[in-house]
Structure 1
């Protein structure tokens, strides 16, 4: 609702007359002029969001500034007072009567957000985004009262209310399938959600982390426009925060980018988040479904019925995840283990695909190094190598128990390590495929020599030593990787 005695609509009209462009949303208007943008809250009260008074709008804008400075300091500038000028117009921070408040930001190209160019999020950029989000979660304030059953339950309940109110538009059968399936999953996973809250995974998060709120500028992704108006929507489980982005990418048929984001996030988060990171993945299908359900009723209210039904179908599909399985990729350096793991991972298991556990990244974590920092020679001693394999296998078990498909990416030169991987799958009763990758020596040497900015420290000399040593007796099926796409098809075809 809008209050008749509130001066803000007058200020908006005056700002609009002076602006180059006005962007209008349900709860705010953004006035663009030159290189600046002024965001003014509308005097509305939607229950979950209340901007009905000057003080409430000022409070919301100050929080918006504070929260967004953490990830987008070059965009957000200051909260400004809109005051009445001597000529009767509107000025910033003048001596005249207070009319309203505005958030000043730097103007940016609206077409530079990732929702306008989702195809841009590939490879290294997706990797960077996953690690950027993980670092923001590591640095975020822990809130023991947030997250858990209370926060996600709030969203699930409101989703159910909205979806059932829209059943004639969305289809009653599908609505009930999603609502009842969500309730069952939520009841089953509530102890896990509470355990994660107690462990420290409930943190102040972005809360609205979809592609429309990530700017691509200067070759780097910049999350912006986080939720400031309702702590139930921002003091949440960090995995639920990430789930919005993953769901959005999957919905846009960008599963390969979603998988790269997820795996970069997991490796980076393992460097600073509490124990239980991988166990929490059991709740990811529910979280993806809840995010899709939110989008479904928002789209329905906007009259986009086809889009709304597609989101609701996605919500139902996320509640029926594919089963866990274990794929191990072995081979000497240069056989393309990591390249192939990234190619096949999106097609394995529950969305957005398999968790990739790479021995090179695990080794860097154990050494306290960044993912591409060169490791000293002693990090590759026999004891250190076996420690990396042991950690990798332990992480694989936790992810498999959480229902995720897992890909192990390591040289696996020793028979004992190959047998341990297969034994894990047998013990957990999940499908297993062990693959030994091969390629001509000249191809291998060229690949290793060309590497840059990678977690692997292998050199051509290391490769030659591996070839001279050999893997011993092989029971895993062998795949030639000279042609990467063909090798990927062969791996998936034999899965």
Structure 2
């Protein structure tokens, strides 16, 4: 049962306290979190911070709550200026508070514009209405935000290897106190050992990513409940304002949070799709080796937060145990495999690879698209037209060699990081297929080929339709299709044994 409400919150549930002559408030709804009260009144939301001190935040005094309200307003206006309006004082005695009143201030509230709660991504996910195109839009929103976010100066401790390990270690210390049962203590010990080993393997990479500018002033709390679909566009809100350590983080840690939340919602296809769309848009493949470390860390952060909430409400910590199990699964991924596609333009390679991604129950498959990576090599946006003639520009023989070499390097690195890889490329020549088959053998992973089939009439129809639609990374024309059909080297009998 809910504890008795504080007098201030109880009084603020009275609709008459929210003067709005144009849209009278008929009812005030209350949402409680472990650190805040949210009062939903008409067109607005008033967020009041609890006077609590937790291991990771301090709202213990009125002045600290004011400072945090002002910081929350400033930080969230980076990406949601239309939703975050102002900080308002609350005056008067707690039993008769006046929002925006004069006199001694007893509390502060962050005033926000209200949106339809049904549009939150966690609610969409629960109703089975979250779609790949929503997740693709989310990946674009995150990438765009990160590109504009401030970069942590090298002299700051944010994102330095010692700080990364310290945050993970603190997490375990807090979880050990929150989950005292013997079984959970043993599981936490194993996860702590994995975390330390993985950190040792990636310590140099953490440092390199800090030096490269990958540590930025991020959102910090990017789970599905802090994302909302408004007018078919995903919006972020409610970033972390109370801790610079939790906000100035590697962008890989940011994406890992949403990734594990989709996994927790039993949406591995969408989780994998998010990571792939983010990597395709950002080109930050250097993040992949540290992504699993951050995913385990984020799952354990969620375990800690849910355990704290359960303790506050004298409830069941079952959700914390579920996150613990998720962390264990992430720490022991399935053995990687390498899949390449084969076929001319319009045969359905990208559709087939998309199905494989969305169908991966482990969400541990990454796709490399030759059309996207070729353009990235030459500084061309994925959906932009390079203006290259057939066989010229970025499609010369030398450019193709560079593209396949880049795909090979990326594939080797991703496999070494423990992720399965799909290389979505034409692979019309036997020599190029053999090179990637040898790469799989060297990495000790299984090798497969996906070779969709279509009639010449279907191929021509699809190429014409794609060109008419535009906004696709592929620039294949009917003339290019005919050249491919004339030059394709069909699969040998040994290769047909690798068909997936």
CA drift at 1:231: 1.3
- Per the alignment, residue 248 of structure 2 pairs with 235
Structure 2 counterparts to residues 250-329 of structure 1, below 5 A: 250-270=263-283, 277-301=284-308, 302=310, 303-329=315-341
- Per the alignment, residue 406 of structure 1 pairs with 421
Deviations along 1:220-273, one digit per CA (max 9) or x if unpaired, are 111211111011211112111111111111222211111111111112222xxx
Indicate yes or no: 2:397 matched with 1:379: no
- C-alpha RMSD of the superposition: 2.7
Do the aligned partners of residues 47 and 429 (structure 1) sit closer, same or farther apart at CA in structure 2, a change above 3 Å counting?
closer
- For residues 413 and 148 of structure 1, the distance between their equivalents in structure 2, rounded to whole angstroms, comes to 45
Indicate yes or no: 2:162 matched with 1:147: no
CA drift at 1:89: 4.6
- Per the alignment, residue 19 of structure 2 pairs with none
In structure 1, the residue corresponding to 2:327 is in which secondary structure? helix
Deviations along 1:105-160, one digit per CA (max 9) or x if unpaired, are 11011221111111333222211211221222222111132123344324322332
Asked if structure 2 preserves the Cα contact closer than 8 Å seen for 1:32 and 1:107, the reply is yes
- For residues 414 and 99 of structure 1, the distance between their equivalents in structure 2, rounded to whole angstroms, comes to 74
Moved over 6 A (4+): none
- Per the alignment, residue 103 of structure 1 pairs with 110
- Per the alignment, residue 42 of structure 1 pairs with 50
Asked if structure 2 preserves the Cα contact closer than 8 Å seen for 1:76 and 1:104, the reply is yes
In structure 2, the residue corresponding to 1:406 is in which secondary structure? strand
- For residues 307 and 216 of structure 2, the distance between their equivalents in structure 1, rounded to whole angstroms, comes to 30
Counterpart pick for 2:261 among 235, 240, 248: 248
Aligned residues: 466
Indicate yes or no: 2:452 matched with 1:445: no
Deviations along 1:6-41, one digit per CA (max 9) or x if unpaired, are xx9654443222362122212111122221111111
Structure 2 counterparts to residues 412-427 of structure 1, below 5 A: 412-427=427-442
- Per the alignment, residue 488 of structure 2 pairs with 470
Do the aligned partners of residues 441 and 48 (structure 1) sit closer, same or farther apart at CA in structure 2, a change above 3 Å counting?
same
Structure 2 stretches lacking a partner, 5+ long: 16-26
Asked if structure 1 preserves the Cα contact closer than 8 Å seen for 2:119 and 2:228, the reply is yes
Counterpart pick for 2:451 among 409, 433, 436: 436
More off after superposition, 207-216 vs 408-417: 408-417
Indicate yes or no: 2:187 matched with 1:174: yes
Asked if structure 2 preserves the Cα contact closer than 8 Å seen for 1:151 and 1:236, the reply is no
- For residues 10 and 96 of structure 1, the distance between their equivalents in structure 2, rounded to whole angstroms, comes to 18
Deviations along 1:323-368, one digit per CA (max 9) or x if unpaired, are 33321112111121111112213566x9422221101111232343
- For residues 459 and 414 of structure 2, the distance between their equivalents in structure 1, rounded to whole angstroms, comes to 31
Asked if structure 1 preserves the Cα contact closer than 8 Å seen for 2:335 and 2:418, the reply is yes
Normalised to the residue count of structure 1, the TM-score between the two structures is 0.86
More off after superposition, 363-372 vs 242-251: 363-372
More off after superposition, 332-341 vs 448-457: 448-457
Indicate yes or no: 2:11 matched with 1:14: yes
- Per the alignment, residue 224 of structure 1 pairs with 237
Asked if structure 2 preserves the Cα contact closer than 8 Å seen for 1:280 and 1:402, the reply is no
Structure 1 stretches lacking a partner, 5+ long: 1-7, 271-276, 480-489
- For residues 309 and 169 of structure 1, the distance between their equivalents in structure 2, rounded to whole angstroms, comes to 13
Counterpart pick for 1:161 among 170, 173, 181: 173
Counterpart pick for 1:361 among 357, 360, 372: 372
Asked if structure 2 preserves the Cα contact closer than 8 Å seen for 1:151 and 1:233, the reply is no
Counterpart pick for 1:333 among 345, 348, 355: 345
More off after superposition, 199-208 vs 459-468: 459-468
Normalised to the residue count of structure 2, the TM-score between the two structures is 0.85
- Per the alignment, residue 455 of structure 1 pairs with 473
CA drift at 1:465: 3.1
